[in-house]
Structure 1
Amino acid sequence: MFLILILYPSDETDVKILENQPEKSVIPKKMKKIAVVGAGISGLSMANYLEKHKIDYHIYERRKKKDLAGHGFLIPQEGMEYLYQILDPDLLLQHGNFLKKYIQYSHTGKMLAEKELNNVFAISRHSLIDLLVQNISPEKITYEQTITPDDRRNGKLKLSDGTDIDADVAIVSDGSKSRIRRSLFKSETLKAVRESEVVNIIQDKEIADSIENDFIKFHHEEGGLTFGILKLSTDTILWYSQFDNEKYTINECSPENLRKYMLEVFQNWHPLVPSIIQKSDYKNVHLWCVYELEKLNPFYKDNIVFIGDAAHPLIPFTSQGVTSALKDSFTLTKYLVEDKNIKEAFRKYEEKRKPEIEVHINNGRTLLNQFLLPLSQQSENILPISYK
């Protein structure tokens, strides 16, 4: 029997609201321009929704364009419905893969459970960013610019050289460790979670051919250690390992050390796992130390509003990062279009999104606690996706 976190049908009326809006929206006269901070999934999704409504904006990203690669995502059906608002479905399918089943194994390869998946999509971060940036003119994105709040002017931002940013609204999407959020909410507490992840991508057609279009996850019988496999395309696989970081300590994070450590830890697992670890290139491997807010901050202050991980970091067990970012962007755009008063638009956005985010945070903690237990003590066959 599967323990499935309750899924309510997505609000199709909400999703279609922007579809039926005129191409040129009536935006309050006082809103001259929007500054979007961050060119990751949240920021680019926001820009696509703004672009659709001819709302003036500019994106500022602290990293170089070539550094915005990363690994990959699971996107449940609800997230795809929002993504289809801004990207062509056929184009998406050319760059990712719908997964058929979730299959859970013990670390030695004994099948524990399987469940059909309902339109869960796997795509690399690089591919999704490339698709989202196609709709945005290059002159609307400035890379290698660190943005900070302007201490002299409430609700305003400035560049690292002190230059004022000419924008009436700032939409901040600078990640789970948002510098701008921390500077505005100085009493916040960001704490480490008892889980770390090693994430990597391997291009190997032979291994990819041996794997169906399934979400495969191996679990150590003593708990606190997993190895997940997602097929992104005919020759590309995303793999990740989740560690109880109180049991498993990675002291040195160089690519070679990570490879050596992974081979030692997983040498006695089902042969597919050490084979993938052995054949992978570790040039772009990533060790992810996971953090969460002890308590959510408000989603806005003055004329600055937060979306995605900058508003509400979600631990990876939820598989809801991209979907939440898309829904944030959609909802915020909807209220910016409808409301003449910016603060009222922000208030409605927070009121709409915060309850669902709190559900995902609680679901994530439940899934984390299950992960730490031996398999014999876990609720049977937990699907590693949080549904609202």
Structure 2
Amino acid sequence: MNSPDKNLVTVRAVVDQGLTVAQAAARFGVSRRWVHVLLRRYEADGRDGIAPRSRARRSRPGTTVAAVRDRILVLRRHLAASGADAGPETIAWHLQQEGLRVSSSSTIRRILHAEGLIVPAPNKRPKASYIRFEADLPNGCWQADITHWYLADGTRVEILDFLDDHSRDLLHIRAAAAYSGPMVVEALQSLIDEHGVPASTLTDNGLVFTARLAGRKGGRNGFEQLLQAHHIVQKNGHPGHPQTQGKIERFHQTLKRWLRARPRPATITDLQALLDQFAHWYNHQRPHRSVGRRTPAAAYAALPKATPAATTEPEWRARTDKIAVSGTVSLRYAGKLRHLGIGRAHAGQPVLMLIHDRHVVTSLAETGEVIAEHHIDPNRDYQRPTRPPA
């Protein structure tokens, strides 16, 4: 035991009673080195010098200094109030950007816990339990979806977004009263013009994205036709299983948390202005854990872009109809109803149409006689026959 009384007895046994250092060490059960230390201290400072001293380290490199700790708390409150990510790893990234000594995320988490700024969630599914899928390159897969938000007067507005699967770069986000198939096609075509052709897309089974659950009564819709034209592989999630589109679902959580931190916009124009601000923040100012704490824009620009690797399956379809009085038959192509000119001479007769992509051959149902052929022009409603009517 290191007590002041024992230390004093040890020292005085040497100084006043003439014991050697070795004898004092053996008598009092201490090391000779310790006896020498006590003698030096006693000579320098008297009885105060041999008082027990704290064995704690004089410096603690791992201790978070007060200024950094205060900044951690300020960042947490500021990020949370602005609707941004405010977790320990995000806070560590912001500290680094500010040139401060970066505490480990576990240290930041302990500080937040101590201040009551993190609510424990013991039942939350651990991140390690998720099976993650990610495209190897930018443009390897674009995820698309439509979500909604509300204006100040309660009007429901739809938001269409496209997200690059590899980099999480937000390629497109736009608000509209409601989205139709042609509007989605226009958005995809503009993205292709700007960023190049992706290798694949991943969406849910909404009718603006696919007609496969509608029994393909109208064939491929406009979105599917555009994918076919560029040889883009189409992927759709399983009905009732939104986890397939997990990245864009989590993106919507980030988007809506950010929007909730701001007043409701009065108009769609006001909402679009907010979405433009969000897109800049999300792509250029927000670090993303899944891409090594880089911004999505940096991750998107870091690697060469993927391109379609295979041809896609052409559309094959058979349809029966009856020629109208006007001498036309109707055919839904790329999500729009087209009218194919046959001729009034055949009005009222049942026909069979065999469709191979844009090529349509029409024959009389009773005799099999081919009476017209068409090559669909996607930009027109009325289609003139390439083979004159019989």
**Which protein is richer in strand relative to its size?**
1
**Largest Rg, 1 or 2:** 2
**Which protein is richer in helix relative to its size?**
2
Fold equivalence (TM over 0.5): no
TM-score using structure 1 length: 0.24
TM-score using structure 2 length: 0.24
